[in-house]
Amino acid sequence: MKVGFIGLGRMGRGIAGRVQHGGHDLVVYNRTREKAAELAKAGATIADSIAGASAGRDVVITMLADDAALNQVARGDAGLLQSLPKGAIHLVMGTHGVEIVRELEQAHARAQQTLVAAPVLGRPDAAAAGQLGIVVAGASDAVNRCRPLLEVIGRRTFEAGIKPEGATAIKLANNFTLACAIQAMGEAFSLVRRYGVQPQTFYDVLTEGLFASIAYKGYGKIIVDGTYDQAGFTALLALKDADLVLAAGGAARVPLPSANAVRDRLLGAIAHGDGEKDWAVMALEQARSSGLD
């Protein structure tokens, strides 16, 4: 397929590498051109603009940090709505709000283009290894056209219906659930530490019992070792997601009290200068509130 790719952050570079590994004709664009250097060495073409990454493409994938960036790439001057060929697909793989996905779906339809939402589940190392989970939603024919890409990008694709906002809601709910797990671990680790328990002991109890899962093992290990500087997903990005979750809940009249607790803990961590650290730093913020660090 002829694929354009916009947004070469840590996740984007890994996903674009998988697209290239799958033998697709790849054109990439990023505001910071240097981030495309490795892909170019492997044969990708570097575009100088969004329009350049869209011209003649069957699909353009965006992997962008937030709604503002997505809005600018899609609606800005010579953006996707103006540059993507009629009949082409905008495959949105970043984590975004329900409202902007809904609005852009309609805008692309008016431009005789199609939006498919396919947010991903996993960290940058999983992206590079083709081991992401992908939640996909959109018109059936468009989703089917994207399958050759989804198959090289992820380990499994989860179908979420014909409305792109469905995939968006699942992605936000998944991140929300994981954030709550991290928050709960932070509270629990602080509790046992106040009673003189070594964090490693509690970690072993958690991860060799009822909580023997990737989430608790991975993030629990970060908390025990204090390796917050090795960020796979930053506190600043997590705060963005917390705001999106609360907005989605508000729009659907779904109270999400735990999301407010997570957001407050993230705000505290960011206020202490930890915004660029891994979002597991919520546990450090909890420890500080408990008089431990």
Please identify every residue annotated as catalytic. 171
> Pairing relation of β-strands 114-117 and 89-92?
parallel
Q: Report phi then psi at 70, rounded to 5.
A: -60, -45
Interatomic CA distance for residues 223 and 84, integer angstroms: 44
Per-state percent for the chain, helix, strand, coil, to nearest 5: 55, 15, 30
Are 24 and 13 in contact by the 8 Å Cβ rule? The answer is no
- Backbone CA torsion sign across 226, 227, 232, 233: positive
Q: Where are the beta strands (DSSP E) in the chain?
A: 2-6, 25-29, 45-46, 59-62, 89-92, 114-117, 120-121, 132-136, 154-159
Q: Which of 217, 221, 227 is nearest to 274 (CA)?
A: 227
Hey, what are 92's tokens?
């949105």
Residues with Cβ < 8 Å from 116, sequence gap 6 or more?
A: 89, 90, 91, 92, 136, 137, 138, 139, 142, 143, 146, 164
Is residue 207 a contact partner of residue 181, using CB atoms and an 8 Å limit? no
Q: What is the H or E stretch that residue 182 is in? A: helix 164-194
The dihedrals phi and psi of 183, each to the nearest 5 degrees, come to -60, -45
